[in-house]
Amino acid sequence: MLHLADMLNVTMNFSFVGTWGYLSNNSQWTGMIGELTRKHADIGGTPLFFTSDRVPIIDYIAMTTPTKSKFVFRQPKLSYITNVYTLPFNTGVWLASMASVVITAAGLYVGVKWEWYKRRKYVAYTNVSNTDELQDDPVDVAFVAFAAVCQQGASAIPFSITGRIITILMYTSLMFLYTSYSANIVALLQSSSTSIQTLEDLLKSRLQVGVDDTVFNQFYFPNASEPVRRAIYRQKVVPPGQKPRFFPIEEGVRRLREGLFAFHMETGAGYKIVGETFLEDEKCGLKEIQFLQVPDPFLAVQKNTSFKEIIKIGLRKMHESGIQNREVSLLYTKRPICMSRGSSFMGVAIVDCYPAALVFVVGIIIAFGIFILELFAHQFARCGYRFAFPRFKQQIPT
């Protein structure tokens, strides 16, 4: 406006109002549009959006500030969206690994079975409880295979060359798989998810949502008619039984920095606060999603004013000479550039270990349940009850 005043050689008197202008209940326009319709002002100094009810009462003349209001959020960690413990290998590798364990365990069982067959036939066997030697029992062999998968030591090993070679082969192959798997897990725990790309993804995600407490957001969000946008407003912005999530821009950016929060803000003003408060590594991974279905705002003047052409020509000259671009670049902060991606290390939280912790908790519950059953069985035995089970005898040649 000041450049325009210098170009047209006029003196401007500025008046400030609290809103762009909306139609009130008594059919009167408020704010800046009310000033224009009542001829208290010749030009609206702040750009405003196109709406069908404004077109008949004001004239739009030029777009001066390509301002954008969008949802901005930090992309959540990959472990927050999916189970990272299933991602290191694709389906083919998982199936091949399982098949390798099964085939190796079957070969080990056959080798151990042959060992005991030869030993019982040619060697006098007197110590059947020797735990240093792997018994020819499918359960014992299965436990050895499971220990190899978990990279744990075996409580018993075969005593023949064949069985020991198979055991070494099993542990060596699974060691390389375990190393590759662990390396991938470490990388995935430091990765961000790219699953939230659209408004529908945002609606289905577990991200909380907040909106900058401005007049036009208070107007456009409740009046959204598109199903996804209306669902975002009703389910995430004003959830039933909770306070509406309209925040000052400073508080919204603070929540945005904490993560798992999408904040709808004017990006020029919001990114200025982001640049001042975020650490360098926190500026990486910022994602934008457009919500408002409106074109860039335009300056407006009185309807059929005699100054319309003069003001339009002046604004066009400012655009052609580069003055407009200079002012926009000075006033509006651009999206921060990520300068240190990969230089920081994110700590592991409970949500990252949830699948592993779930396996641990389920194992404890099963073990405790078996312990309770054993107590009941012992109690029944003390009361005189007996449980009969078939007994399998080993035939050992003398």
Residue by residue, DSSP assigns 344-364 as: S-PPP-TTTTHHHHHHHHHHH
Angle at 10 between CA 8 and CA 14, to 5 degrees: 120
Half-sphere exposure of residue 106: CA atoms within 13 angstroms, side-chain side = 6
Backbone angles phi, psi at 290, to 5 degrees: -75, 135
Contacts of 121 (CB under 8 A, 6+ apart): 397
Domain ranges of the chain: 2-66, 69-82+193-295+322-331
* Closest residue by Cα to residue 199 from 69, 71, 67: 71
Write the DSSP string, 219-273.
HHTTT--SHHHHHHIIIIIS-TTS---EE-HHHHHHHHHHSSEEEEEEHHHHHHH
SS3 letters for 286-302?
EEEEECCCCCCCEEEEE
- pTM, whole model, 2 decimals? 0.67
- From first to last of its 398 residues, the chain has per-residue pLDDT tens of 889 999 889 988 999 998 888 887 767 888 899 999 988 999 998 888 888 888 889 999 988 887 788 999 988 888 777 778 888 888 888 899 999 999 998 988 888 888 877 776 655 544 444 546 777 788 888 888 888 888 887 777 888 888 888 888 888 888 898 888 888 888 887 777 788 888 998 998 888 999 999 888 888 898 888 899 999 999 999 998 889 999 999 999 999 998 889 999 988 889 989 988 888 878 888 889 999 877 888 899 999 888 889 999 999 999 899 998 898 888 888 888 877 655 556 667 777 788 888 888 999 999 999 999 998 888 877 776 555 555 544 444 44
| Structural tokens at position 1 | 């406006």
Let me know: does 87 contact 195? Beta carbons within 8 Å. Answer: no
Query: What b/e sequence results for 32-68 when a residue is b if at least 16 CB atoms lie within 10 Å of its CB, and e otherwise?
Result: bbbbbbeeebbbbebbbbeeeebeebbbbbbbbbebe
Secondary structure (3-state) at 133: strand
Level-2 CATH architecture, domain 69-82+193-295+322-331: 3-Layer(aba) Sandwich (3.40)
